[in-house]
Structure 1
Amino acid sequence: MKDYEVYSSLKVPKNSKVIVRLDGRAFHKLAKDLDLTKPYDENFYRVMAKVCEDLFKEFSPSFVYTFSDEISLLFDDLPFDGRIEKINSVMAGFTSSSFVINYDADFKKPPAFDSRIIPINDEDILDYFKWRQDESWTNCVNSHGISYLKNKYSNNEANDKINGMKLNEIHELLFQNGINLNDIETYKKRGIGIYRKNKKVVGFNKKENKNQTSYRSYVFTDWELPIFNEDFFRSIGVIE
């Protein structure tokens, strides 16, 4: 009967770098059910960061990036021998479970994430994450814009007004009304990154009777990401 399984043997080619992207399913409805603070709910972002840390520790990607309800994981070596069905199903399930555990709320409906695999070349890694970070900025401007307009107009009127505005127009509207997006927290504009860093550890070597310096890696959650560039990804060992 195993022959009846669809795509069970489909694998990512060996030695391929891939991105696994996870997205929250119907999180607009979930945000209403949880009564999240608009335009940004700080607890929601703390939970998403913790979910990303759980994913990093469980599956060992080289870099994780998140904003809103989206998570992108960059892999050099895929788990499950690169089996696509296994990767998508387990990672989506693990992410959903981690979200429930870390949020600790009474959900009206079980939250869920979907998963997709994106093969990627070394030269395209920066472009991918710049694309997602640009989307994070767009999301930031639009979220603050619609939140401001809904404080002045009905929901329908606010939606009609913002739908006809360009990003720079929303930014200017906010600025003219005392909301400077340059002053808000970095993670709201640029997202959150999780990667390994090294820390210096000084210990005493009894055999040689002297202090000895070593370096140990640890999982670092970066709430102050720069605008993505080659130097950043080189510094964390993602590109050469």
Structure 2
Amino acid sequence: MRFDELDSKMRIYETAADYCVLPGMYMVARLDGRSFTRLTKDVCQFEAPFDTGFRDLMAETAENLMTCGFRVWYAYSESDEISLLFDRDEQLFGRKLRKYNSTLAAEASAKFSLLLGHVATFDCRISQLPSENLVVDYFRWRNEDAARNALNAYCYWTLRKTGLDEQQATSRTCGLSVSQKNQLLYEHGLNFNDVPAWQKRGIGLYWEEIEKNAQNPLTGESVMARRRRIKRNFDLPMKDQYDGFIQSFFTRSPSRGIS
């Protein structure tokens, strides 16, 4: 059998499960760290419940995902996860899901591992969202998840520091309401409202335009040039204000992306 015939024959099996995102659909990728509880507590021993070094590793990884060839409007990170909102008209890889999932997971795993100095891996899944409202709901969901996780983490580690073991601390907080958890922290000298915003709401990364001094290569004159850079926002708004913040990404440029 000639190579061309063999190639055509075998390609069918390789691409049989290919699915492509339909035109006009918004794509949001969510990447999660694999076995990061063990990585952060046993292998690297980051500070609990939050560690600025780990936060910055996640932010650097998210920034890498925004600059590795995809058109990403917004990246959001909380805990060990990263969410990416793509330009609605992104066409890379013909919008094949398997290519997005494998490439993004590989990029994140490689970057984070290099930064950390230990092997770390991410998985990836793509949400296909047909409307702007669902995109807003998605990021509101992750933002609310960050707040819930932060409150639970502070309660758990506050109790652990009093001498309770893992099971006792988990059992002590099980079934408590949000107000009861806040009261628990207050009784141990912590006002949850005073916790840094990035711990309660995650961090956002997006493109912004700046002006900087430059030189005209033809005339040698000094001019002001407009450049793009990624902004890291450690003080994201909450609730309805966060909805409005996400909605702003749909109108920031004529192409409905970040200019």
* TM-score exceeds 0.5: yes
CA contact (8 A) 1:196 1:218 kept: yes
Structure 1 stretch displaced more, 157-166 or 47-56: 157-166
Deviations 1:135-156 (A, max 9, x none): 0001110111000011122222
What is the root-mean-square deviation of aligned Cα atoms in Å?
A: 2.5
Which of residues 97, 101, 105 in structure 1 aligns to 2:110?
97
Asked if 1:82 is matched to 2:95, the reply is yes
Asked if 1:219 is matched to 2:230, the reply is yes
Q: Distance in 1 between matches of 2:222 and 2:40?
A: 53
Secondary structure, counterpart of 1:229 in structure 2: helix
Tell me by how many angstroms 1:6 deviates. 5.3
Secondary structure, counterpart of 1:23 in structure 2: strand
Which of residues 183, 194, 209 in structure 1 aligns to 2:205?
194
Provide TM-score, normalisation by structure 1: 0.88
Structure 2 unpaired stretches of 5+? 1-9
Asked if 1:36 is matched to 2:49, the reply is no
Asked if 1:5 is matched to 2:14, the reply is yes
Q: Label 1:91 to 1:165 Cα distance change in 2 as closer, same or farther (>3 A).
A: same
Secondary structure, counterpart of 2:236 in structure 1: coil
Which of residues 116, 122, 126 in structure 1 aligns to 2:125?
116
CA contact (8 A) 2:236 2:242 kept: no
Aligned partner letter, 1:103: L
Tell me by how many angstroms 1:103 deviates. 1.4
Q: Label 1:79 to 1:205 Cα distance change in 2 as closer, same or farther (>3 A).
A: closer
Deviations 1:175-216 (A, max 9, x none): 2221112222211111011100111336688999x9865532
In the alignment, which residue of structure 2 is the partner of 1:135?
Answer: 145
Tell me by how many angstroms 1:219 deviates. 1.1
Structure 1 unpaired stretches of 5+? none
Identity, in percent, stands at 30
Q: Label 1:86 to 1:172 Cα distance change in 2 as closer, same or farther (>3 A).
A: same
In the alignment, which residue of structure 2 is the partner of 1:25?
Answer: 34
Tell me by how many angstroms 1:159 deviates. 1.3
In the alignment, which residue of structure 1 is the partner of 2:171?
Answer: 160
Say which one has the larger Rg. Answer: 2
